Chain A
Amino acid sequence: MKYITEFRDGQQARHIAANIAAEVRPGTAYNFMEFCGGHTHAISRYGIADMLPPNVRMIHGPGCPVCVLPIGRVDLAISLALDRGVILCTYGDTMRVPASDGLSLIKAKARGADIRMVYSASDALKLAEQHPEREVVFFAIGFETTTPPTALVLRDAKARGVANFSVLCCHVLTPAAITHILASAEARQIGSIPIDGFIGPAHVSIVIGSQPYVHFAQTYRKPVVITGFEPLDVMQGILMLVRQVNSGRAEVENEFSRVVTATGNQAAQKIMAEVFELRESFEWRGLGQVPTSALKIRPEFAAWDAERKFDLHYASVPDHKQCECGAILRGVKRPADCKLFGTVCTPESPMGSCMVSNEGACAAHYSYGRFRAVAESDSAQVATQKIAK
């Protein structure tokens, strides 16, 4: 397929890997965070980690909307479906996110709640128009990619006067989260890992452009390379970061220039600004309360805001005690560091959110990396045994 196949060429990947190997300086550590779950998935799926020199380490960031969705928000959606009898529409990704009382949306559905997976926000609005006798709520999650479609659906619902439709808005913002990781005092307390650069979001940047990253590249002196989701894009993005580190630069560069511009998609930004405004604060799983990091529906659209319509109040719920999702989302721990990983917590039966979506750090490591980790620890053991002998 055009614009996919040529960006997955194995020979070309080895060529870029050779470039990276030739340019990294021995003795220098290159710790790069890929913010997006899409990159985490690509790095695991295509074995990119195996093609990098040992001093280049990729740290998985919190850019998986399913992973950062706090339990309390899923609880609100479940209560709407179970107790208020609404038709709850959701993207498939959220169905298995663990919530309170051992529930998830899929388990609530098994208990009789009317929960429907939709491909698009517009399908939810269509459903509301087909069932005027029922309340239909769209559980809207995601970063700046899914936000413009939600905005368009709210605009259309208002224009067409669809009174039985509303949106439970959980949209979050990327630049706020990256700034939080760099700035948060809490991260410093926990002993945040040194990050030498960021692989910047691909599709989020189509919408917001490359400009929003300039501020923190300058303020925090961290290079950012906006990078596509295909494996060659990721390799090239890493090479560009290595070059920035080597030359002491901290700039925003754009590897994904075939779709990302400096100013982004203006039409998308306009409709988002019309329908949404900033929330003062929003709780992220793993990051806690992050100021001005999420969106809420403007008062002009109050009639379609599920939080107002059903008088919903958010309550924070702590994660499972032994779940390390929080530290993993901040890049402080790796999936294999969690006691639950691969034992009680698996993609079939996730305990923590990082195991739910295939973009989550734990699910990606479980699917593509856990045997490599076992092989590495086995060979390390053999080596120690040999020394002992």
Chain B
Amino acid sequence: MCLALPARVVELLPNLRAVVDLGGVRKEVSIDLVDDAQVEDYVIIHVGYAIGKIDPDEAQRTLALFAELSEAQNTLQPLQHLGEVL
């Protein structure tokens, strides 16, 4: 029900409407709730309305977070190096 998908704004239309591209599928949506959306922005589309805008820097930060080592692994690492040296 609350499913929503990120889509790229490709064209701004009058009356706070826009055309978005979702993996090659184009659709007209309302940007009434995200009225500062610009072409090339990624917006989250839900029941025909953009409800939020993706912050590309934050997305990068989250992806970097996934790649981090765990706190436990971090503390183990120096020991592993020590093992190699010995």
Please pick, from A64, A119, A148, the residue contacting B33 in the complex, using a CB distance under 8 A. A148
Contact (Cβ within 8 A) B8 A145: no
Query: Which residues 44-86 in B have Cβ within 8 Å of A in the complex?
Result: 44, 46-49, 51-56, 58-59, 61-63, 65-73
What does the 1/0 interface line of A98-124 toward B look like (CB < 8 Å)? 000000000000000000000111110
A248 → chain B closest CB, angstroms: 15
**What residues on A are CB-neighbors of B72 within 8 Å?**
19, 22-23
**What residues on A are CB-neighbors of B67 within 8 Å?**
12, 15
Known contacts being A3-B42, A145-B51, is A265 close to B34, with CB within 8 Å? Answer: yes
> Is there a chain B Cβ closer than 8 Å to A355's Cβ?
no
**What residues on A are CB-neighbors of B59 within 8 Å?**
3, 258
**What residues on B are CB-neighbors of A37 within 8 Å?**
1-2
> Is there a chain A Cβ closer than 8 Å to B4's Cβ?
yes
Known contacts being A1-B22, A267-B35, is A145 close to B46, with CB within 8 Å? Answer: yes
Known contacts being A4-B6, A38-B3, is A119 close to B23, with CB within 8 Å? Answer: no
Q: Closest residue of chain B to A16, judged by CB? A: B66
> Is there a chain A Cβ closer than 8 Å to B11's Cβ?
no
How many residues does chain A have at the interface if contact means C-beta atoms less than 8 Å apart?
Answer: 62
Among B46, B51, B53, max chain A CB count under 10 A is at B51
Known contacts being A23-B70, A265-B33, A267-B33, is A203 close to B47, with CB within 8 Å? Answer: no
Measured CA separation A75–B47 after assembly (Å): 24
**What residues on B are CB-neighbors of A149 within 8 Å?**
30, 33, 46-49
Known contacts being A4-B6, A257-B58, A267-B35, is A64 close to B1, with CB within 8 Å? Answer: yes
**What residues on B are CB-neighbors of A65 within 8 Å?**
1-2
Contact (Cβ within 8 A) A4 B58: no
**What residues on B are CB-neighbors of A228 within 8 Å?**
62
Measured CA separation A22–B47 after assembly (Å): 40
B59 → chain A closest CB, angstroms: 4
B16 → chain A closest CB, angstroms: 10
A211 → chain B closest CB, angstroms: 15
Please pick, from B22, B49, B53, the residue contacting A152 in the complex, using a CB distance under 8 A. B49
Please pick, from B51, B55, B69, the residue contacting A268 in the complex, using a CB distance under 8 A. B51
Which positions in B face A, CB cutoff 8 Å? Answer: 1-6, 8, 22-23, 30, 32-35, 42, 44, 46-49, 51-56, 58-59, 61-63, 65-73
